[in-house]
Amino acid sequence: MIFMTHFIRLITFCFFFQSIIAQEKPNIIFIMADDLGYGEVGAYGQQLIQTPNIDRLSAKGMQFSDYYSGAAVCAPARSVLMTGLHTGHTRVRGNFGKGGVIGLAGNAGRVPIKKEDLTIAEVLQDKGYRTGMIGKWGLGEPNTTGEPNKKGFDYFYGFYNQRRAHHYFPEYLWENTQKIMLYGNEKEQTQQYTHNLFADKAINFLDRNHQKPFFLYLPVCIPHSRYEIPDKGIYTHKKAWTEKQKIYAAMVTRLDETVGRIVQRLESLGIADNTYIFFTSDNGPAEISGDWEMFNSNGVFRGMKRDPYEGGIRIPFIVYHPQKIKPGTRSNQVGYFADFFPTVLDLIGEPMDKTFDGNSIAGILHGNQQSFERAPLYWEFYEKKGWRATRFGKWKAIQNNLHQGNHGPIEVYDLYRDPGETFDLSQSHPHLLDQAKKIFNTASIPSEHYFWKHQQQRDIETFNN
């Protein structure tokens, strides 16, 4: 009997010790807005839209000035984030591709990621993390290889299909592989607002999983169009504002309130000191003229969503950890979504024998590095007339009209002196032009789903959104 008592105590201690070790692994939360511009939060210069919680993350964490999405539109940006591979290597390089399936919104060409496309969620799941994804997925339709539950997520709630995610009062959402009807939203009724549901599910995920290390991926849909919200809040009585302006500002502030709720719940659960929060957007703003002009959504930058210029791909990027990141830190380290996978591996202390297009920024976050030289960043884009771009050091090179041929002019800009990309230096700096050509010629591998129209001998469908 005495032996059994000691044995039970030993087993109990072992489980307790293992629990302590497990909790030493940091929690990871990645919050991603949809079409939020670089300048649409207060920490990045916004004057009219109130974002106190996001601003507080910046004040207590690290804010990056030169950070980029993996793409200028939603699906490929998410593919880069999940795989650590840029759009010359990752599976999903556009919203539509040849050979893709018919999506839930009825459009053909939705390319799913495949079994062999390793995601950060799969690695974290394998390392004992509870993994949740709430919001817009965009990397696989139901019954394909790209379902979130097949790619590393224990729990999924939201939209498979990015087109259906345009609706904030849809008739249904998905919970794992089950269609969940949203009663009160039938026939264009507006009883259940998706962002509110996502926020509640995120809090519930924290409540259910905080005793073990977890990864919460929260790619919300706001402020993407449609521009809908149950109420306009503090903007209701703004004089001289249009209805669209009030709604848009209220959407961004609603996102900010969700960020505040998450931080508060982490603190109340006693796990804030062991949690990294990443906050960003999937690409640049979708609107910059008309009703949106007064918000100065992309700051000094040229272009918008789907453009190769800074306004299309440079994004707000904030990382917060109350114990590991010095408050109020500002970094001009150049980075992009391909960095997330290797960074998380560093943060959890799990080396991995895999090649990424990104680099870990863990040293930057922890103050062990001020900056580092990195390989060129690369993007390719198949909508519009087709383009590719690269940033190497302070230089940015862009080649447009690639569906017509790859021998067209290449623009070159000095982003330190000319962040608005107004002075093309290609003619006066031929050595930079040569460097850009070398990058363009080696950065991409052929894809069965995405290609330039000029590469085909016969007419083909060019997939545009």
pLDDT at 11 over 80: no
Tens digits of residue pLDDT in 72-96: 999 999 999 999 999 999 999 999 9
Q: For residue 379, what are its two tokens?
A: 């993007």
Q: For residue 47, what are its two tokens?
A: 């004057």
Tens digits of residue pLDDT in 419-454: 999 999 999 999 999 999 999 999 999 999 999 988
Q: Is the peptide bond before 223 cis (omega within 30 degrees of 0)?
A: yes
Can you name the CATH fold of 27-366? Alkaline Phosphatase, subunit A (3.40.720)
The confidence score (pLDDT) of residue 23 equals: 54
Evaluated on CA atoms 216, 159, 261, 40, the torsion sign reads positive
81-109 burial string, b = 16+ CB within 10 Å, else e?
bbbbbbbbbbbbbbbbbbebbebbbebeb
Residue 104: which pLDDT band, with cuts at 50, 70 and 90? confident
Cα 462 to Cα 458: distance, rounded to the nearest angstrom: 12
pLDDT at 3 over 70: no
pLDDT at 8 over 80: no
Cα 89 to Cα 86: distance, rounded to the nearest angstrom: 6
Cα 424 to Cα 426: distance, rounded to the nearest angstrom: 6
Q: Is the peptide bond before 306 cis (omega within 30 degrees of 0)?
A: no
Average pLDDT of the chain? 93
Residue 135: which pLDDT band, with cuts at 50, 70 and 90? very high
The confidence score (pLDDT) of residue 133 equals: 98
pLDDT greater at residue 398 or residue 407? 398
For the segment 135-143, the average pLDDT, to the nearest whole number, is: 96
Residue 42 has what DSSP assignment? G
Tens digits of residue pLDDT in 454-464: 887 444 454 44
Q: For residue 353, what are its two tokens?
A: 């024998």
Tens digits of residue pLDDT in 339-376: 999 999 999 999 888 899 999 999 999 999 888 999 99
Among 22-26, 47-51, 399-403, whose mean pLDDT is lowest? 22-26
The confidence score (pLDDT) of residue 139 equals: 97
The confidence score (pLDDT) of residue 127 equals: 97
Can you name the CATH fold of 377-455? Arylsulfatase, C-terminal domain (3.30.1120)
3-state secondary structure of 378: strand
Domain boundaries, the chain: 27-366, 377-455
Evaluated on CA atoms 309, 310, 315, 318, the torsion sign reads positive
- Listed residue (285, 337, 308) closest to 38, CA to CA: 285
Kindly provide the residue ranges of all beta strands, DSSP E only, lying in 304-406, ordered along the sequence.
Answer: 317-320, 329-331, 335-336, 377-381, 387-392, 395-400
Residue 22: which pLDDT band, with cuts at 50, 70 and 90? very low
Tens digits of residue pLDDT in 56-77: 999 999 999 999 999 999 999 9
pLDDT at 17 over 60: no
141-173 burial string, b = 16+ CB within 10 Å, else e?
beebebbbebbbbbbbbbbbbbbbbbbbbebbb
